[in-house]
């Protein structure tokens, strides 16, 4: 739009100008009427033309002033529109800057989420490895304790029983050897009772030197009795050994049952701990990832809505 000259502030308003022009035209018509002689009408070729020109000039001035006022109003409206356009451009620039800042914040949040997720996965792997190490250590320590308890409950009684059996057999053998030596000494040296063993003193006092066969038969009978006694003791030891073996088998079966029950309990506990860990990891993931994503989405939606 081409520029127009501003309206003259000193010029009167169109309404005032119209009123004054009307009063002027009325006075001029009245003066013309008074100057006309005899009330005759003025000549159309002389007086009517200047009056109509005057009225047309006044109407043209009024129209020009109206047009100038409208142009001024349009210029003011145009200036207002330009100012509003500038304000809107400023707001658009601010929104663009906000969008850039939101994009940068979203990028940073995404990178932080990725870093935290990687850190969380690394910690989860470390936690799984630690749990496996703890389980292996627990199983090894439990196996060692069970072995020690089994050895204490089984091998110690067996060793003590074996030592007792060996000591008994040694004592019985020594007794048999001493009695055999005493019998031989009695046969070869009947006149020297002092060289005999104290265990056969009663037999020597009751046996005369004239009866060596009777003493030998008595020694043989005593030896047979000792052998029978040893056999009985050996049978008792074998029976005790069988009972200990039976107790050992029962204890081994009980240990196996306890081990199976412990393994089942351990598996149940591990499953429960795994579920707890998964639930904790899910809650942490919800807090660390899903909620920030929701907030970022809401921020982007609000920014787009404002834009």
Residue 196 neighbours by CB distance under 10 Å: 19
Same domain, 266 and 135: yes
Q: Is residue 97 in a domain?
A: no
Does residue 163 have a pLDDT over 80? no
Cα separation, 62 vs 20, whole angstroms: 12
Separation in Å, CA 238 to CA 67, 155, 243 = 140, 16, 9
Confidence at residue 198, expressed as pLDDT on a 0 to 100 scale:
44
Confidence at residue 216, expressed as pLDDT on a 0 to 100 scale:
67
Same domain, 73 and 215: no
| Burial category of 60 from C-beta neighbours within 10 Å (exposed 0-12, middle 13-18, buried 19 and up) | exposed
Maximum CA extent, the chain: 223
Does residue 289 have a pLDDT over 90? no
Name the domain count of the chain. Answer: 2
Same domain, 124 and 272: yes
Q: Is residue 274 in a domain?
A: yes
Instruction: Evaluate the CA torsion angle 39, 45, 51, 52 in order and state its sign.
Output: positive
Confidence at residue 218, expressed as pLDDT on a 0 to 100 scale:
75
Residue 151 tokens, joined: 């050895």
Confidence at residue 303, expressed as pLDDT on a 0 to 100 scale:
67
Per cent of the chain over pLDDT 90 is 13
Confidence at residue 75, expressed as pLDDT on a 0 to 100 scale:
93
Helix axes 212-285, 48-150, angle to 10 degrees: 180
Q: Mean pLDDT score of the chain, rounded to an integer? A: 73
Cα separation, 307 vs 298, whole angstroms: 14
Q: How many residues does the chain have?
A: 307
- Between 26 and 77, the higher pLDDT residue: 77
DSSP conformational letter for 5: P
Q: Global pTM?
A: 0.27
Same domain, 69 and 153: no
> pLDDT, tens digit, for every residue of 101-142?
898 888 888 898 888 888 888 898 888 888 888 888 888 877
Confidence at residue 81, expressed as pLDDT on a 0 to 100 scale:
93
Same domain, 142 and 209: yes
Does residue 12 have a pLDDT over 50? no
Cα separation, 57 vs 206, whole angstroms: 190
Does residue 143 have a pLDDT over 50? yes
> Helices (DSSP H) in the chain: which residue ranges?
14-35, 48-150, 156-188, 201-206, 212-285, 291-306
Residues of the domain holding 151: 106-306
Cα separation, 220 vs 245, whole angstroms: 36
Q: Is residue 166 in a domain?
A: yes
Cα separation, 87 vs 97, whole angstroms: 15
Task: Single out the residue in 86, 118, 151 at which a domain terminates.
Answer: 86
Same domain, 67 and 213: no
Same domain, 230 and 112: yes
**DSSP letters along 79-132, please?**
HHHHHHHHHHHHHHHHHHHHHHHHHHHHHHHHHHHHHHHHHHHHHHHHHHHHHH
Residue 301 tokens, joined: 């939606």
Does residue 10 have a pLDDT over 50? no
């Amino acid at each position: 739009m081409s520029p127009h000259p501003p309206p003259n502030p000193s010029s009167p308003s169109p309404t005032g100008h119209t009123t004054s022009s009307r009063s002027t035209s009325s006075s001029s018509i009245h003066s013309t009427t008074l100057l006309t002689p005899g009330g005759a009408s003025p000549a159309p070729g002389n007086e009517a033309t200047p009056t109509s020109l005057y009225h047309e000039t006044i109407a043209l001035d009024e129209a020009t002033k109206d047009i100038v006022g409208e142009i001024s109003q349009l210029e003011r409206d145009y200036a207002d529109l330009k100012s509003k356009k500038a304000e809107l451009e400023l707001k658009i620039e601010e929104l663009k800057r906000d969008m850039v800042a939101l994009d940068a914040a979203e990028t940073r949040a995404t990178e932080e989420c990725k870093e935290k997720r990687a850190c969380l996965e690394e910690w989860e792997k470390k936690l799984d490895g630690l749990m496996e190490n703890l389980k292996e250590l627990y199983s090894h320590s439990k196996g060692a304790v069970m072995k020690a308890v089994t050895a204490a409950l089984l091998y110690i009684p067996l060793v003590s029983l074996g030592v007792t059996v060996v000591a008994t057999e040694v004592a019985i053998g020594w007794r048999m050897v001493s009695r055999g030596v005493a019998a031989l000494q009695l046969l070869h040296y009947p006149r020297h009772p002092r060289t005999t063993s104290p265990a056969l003193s009663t037999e020597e006092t009751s046996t005369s030197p004239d009866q060596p066969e009777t003493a030998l038969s008595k020694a043989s009978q005593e030896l047979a009795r000792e052998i029978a006694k040893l056999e009985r003791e050996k049978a008792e030891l074998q029976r005790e050994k069988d009972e200990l073996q039976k107790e050992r088998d029962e204890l081994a079966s009980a240990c196996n049952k306890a081990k199976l029950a412990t393994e089942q309990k351990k598996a149940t506990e591990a499953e429960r701990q795994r579920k707890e860990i998964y639930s904790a990891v899910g809650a942490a993931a919800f807090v660390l990832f899903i909620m920030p994503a929701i907030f970022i989405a809401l921020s982007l939606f609000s920014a787009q809505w404002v834009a």
